[in-house]
Structure 1
Amino acid sequence: MADIETVKRQFEAVLHNVSDDVRSQFLSWIKNKINSGEWGDVTREKSNEDVMLESIQSDLRSELPVNAVSHTENIHFPQTGPNADCDPSTTVHVDAFLYDEDAIDDLCEDGKMSRNYCTRCGSQEVQPLTFITHSASAAQVKYILNYALPDLSGKNVLDVGSRIHAVLYGYSESFTCIWY
């Protein structure tokens, strides 16, 4: 049986060798397994970083509309590549930094958002909406700042046009933030 350090290295190797999309899906799967209790009672204490991110997310949610698009922004759908098949009339913009799957579920349960649309008015033929984000999730931000970038302690970081500055919230206590 492997020791914890070996398991950690193997886990990090798996995460390092997959695309961002697959990594995100894999980590969501792990989270769901833990939350479902399928692997027993796996609990973890929230770090100060997690508490700070959740506080920032909560504050931003209270200031922005549910889709997190301000009246001064224009969201443009991709014309080529990933998500080029999105139909603007059936695609919902959801900010991944502000709303994870659990938060979206809560919005749907509260009637503030729907996951489906009616293909014919009045019928029961419904199709799922397409969800798209133009932001990194909190987990992706934490990964980028803790593993993908070098140590930014004592550095100045200039954030130009990243919408709600999610990247800076992920690790802002170790470097000076400047945004426009």
Structure 2
Amino acid sequence: MSKVYISLKEAKHQFSILLDSITESDKADFISSIYKEQICNETINDYLDDSNNFENKGEGFLDDPIATLNMIANDVKKRVPLDAILSSENIRSPTIGENADCLPHLTVHVDEFLYDEEDVEELVEEGKLKRNYCKDCGSKNIDSLIFTSHSMSRADLFFIFNNSLPTLENKVVLDIGSRLGSVLYGAYVFTDASRIIGVEMNEDLCKLQKDIVSKYNMEDRIEVLHKRIEEAEDIVQLADVIIINNPFEFYVSENEHIQIWQFLRRHIKRETILITCPHLETIFKSLNTQIHLSNWVKPYNLGWNEANMFYNKTNTEDTSFNDIAFYEII
């Protein structure tokens, strides 16, 4: 039986009727559950199986940000190893902080932009990933491996750009340590930001991002710079929104890590929205930056409203986005 499609107007009408039939106390959980099931698992296999023909998908597909992100993720998977770590990268094991237990033999790198939970389960079932390790070889004394990601998930990007931030028209978005480019693509499909800039110190990752940006016709607003962030003072000062997804501790020494934060403290302009994962309080707890957060940032008011009430952590037990923090530079 062929699918029957309805218009957007009719879909909104039917959805409103369905919402009206649900009790107020259950509405938030209902919308959240629908979102979590659909956001990264759109039925677009026909597109994903033929991502090289992106140009032929048609304008309707290009207007679907979720489908576009899913397609990009599928494309990037084909260009990187399973752990999404390139041979030219120098991944370090943090010696301080909450990730100090991420020892090489205990840590599995799984990029959340490329692989959601269902993908991971499939990889485990196929034997391509392991969740546990044997503490005494040959025995049943096992423990869990540590899974870590160096990218934000597609759900994270939706949460940040589609549901948390105000309009970004005429604004500049900066991603520090852009790696595979996930934040850049998310900002492109979900916002009207005039400039979206990624700063990445690994040349091979820059080439990958530029290739994707070119292929998906995003060059009008996205640019990728092959630099260390300390070499991009002018870009830092220009940015209205800065995303920092833990790009330092796995890549630089503790002393360099401190110096980068001191550099950012000096050059990020007032009223910039700073989005970090994890929270600055978590990062600075074990890092002697000599920066007093209360003199630098304040919590950014997300302005929760009825349209995105299901993300309000006071109304739901969902903790999916608890590690993402929003600040405003003061």
TM-score, scaled to structure 1: 0.69
Cα distance in 2 between the residues matched to 1:102 and 1:122: 29
1:97 to 110, 113, 131: 113
How far has the Cα of 1:155 moved from its partner? 4.3
CA change 1:34–1:65 in 2 (3 A) is closer
How far 1:11 moved relative to its partner? 4.0
SS in 2 for 1:179: strand
Q: Post-superposition shift, 1:32?
A: 10
- How many angstroms does 1:160 deviate by? 4.4
Instruction: Find the aligned partners of 1:94 and 1:157 in 2 and give their Cα distance.
Output: 25
Q: Which has the larger radius of gyration?
A: 2
SS in 2 for 1:89: helix
Size of the alignment, in residue pairs? 154
Distance change in 2, residues 1:7/1:154 (3 Å): farther
Q: Who is 2:224 aligned against?
A: 179
What's the counterpart of residue 72 of structure 1? 88
How large is the Cα RMSD of the aligned pairs?
Answer: 3.4
Give the drift of 1:85: 2.7
Deviation readout 1:36-71 (Å, 9 max, x if unpaired): xxxxxxxx9888121111101101111111111111
Once the two structures are superposed, the pairs formed by residues 82-121 of structure 1 within 5 Å of their partners are: 82-121=98-137
Corresponding position of 2:247: none
- The verdict on how the C-alpha distance between 1:45 and 1:57 changes in structure 2, with shifts beyond 3 A counting, is closer
Q: Deviations over 1:59-104 (max 9, x none)?
A: 1111111111111212233333333333321111111111111111
| Residue in 2 that maps onto 1:39 | none
SS at match of 2:68: helix
Tell me, yes or no, if the aligned pair for 2:124 and 2:131 is still in contact at 8 Å.
yes
Q: 1:132 aligns with which of 136, 148, 163?
A: 148
Once residues 112 and 83 of structure 1 are traced to their aligned partners in structure 2, the CA distance between those partners, rounded to angstroms, is 24
Helix, strand or coil: the match of 2:223?
A: strand
Q: CA offsets, 1:112-153, max 9 Å, x none?
A: 111111223333332221111122111111111123333224
| TM-score, scaled relative to structure 2 | 0.40
Q: Give the secondary structure class of the aligned counterpart of 1:54.
A: helix
Identical columns (%) = 40
Secondary structure, in 3 states, of the residue corresponding to 2:104? coil
Question: Mapping of 1:1-180 within 5 angstroms?
Answer: 11=28, 30=33, 48-173=64-189, 174-175=192-193, 176-180=221-225
Runs of 5+ consecutive residues of structure 1 not aligned to the other structure: 13-26, 36-43
Question: Which SS does the other structure have where 2:103 is aligned?
Answer: coil
Task: Identify unmatched segments of 5+ residues in structure 2.
Answer: 1-18, 45-62, 194-220, 226-330
Q: In structure 2, what is the Cα distance between the partners aligned to 1:158 and 1:120?
A: 46
Match of 1:22 in 2: none
TM-fit CA distance, 1:107: 0.9
In the alignment, the residues of structure 2 paired with residue 7 and residue 72 of structure 1 have an alpha-carbon distance, to the nearest angstrom, of 52
Contact 1:158/1:179 (CA < 8 Å) preserved in 2? no
